[in-house]
Amino acid sequence: MNWFSALVVWLIIWWLVLFIILPIGIRGQAEEGDIVKGSEPGAPHTLNIKRKFIQTTIIASVLWVLTCGLILSGWVSWEMLGDFIQR
């Protein structure tokens, strides 16, 4: 695996983890009882995006290390993944 492939794998894992983490712990304005006039009641009350980015980066990095470890150890190869996808 070259550096570009490793970067692409990390970016894909990062985005997947971000979309998994984004809705966790979000409470809507209606749930908090503090609806901003002119906004959707289901809109987030507080988003804490910086915290979510940090959590995403940590989790994605751990998953990336595990994924690269599997690929570099030979347990999983790009050819095996290609054969699995073609089925």
Provide the number of structural domains found in the chain: 1
- Range of the structural domain that residue 32 is part of: 3-86
Tell me the pTM.
0.77
Contacts with 16 (C-beta within 8 Å, 6 or more apart), sequence order:
60
Distance (Å, whole) CA 49 – CA 84 = 36
pLDDT digits (tens, 9 = 90+) for 7-32: 999 999 999 999 999 999 888 888 88
Query: How many angstroms from the chain centroid is the CA of residue 33?
Result: 30
pLDDT at residue 75, as a whole number = 87
pLDDT of the residue at 74: 83
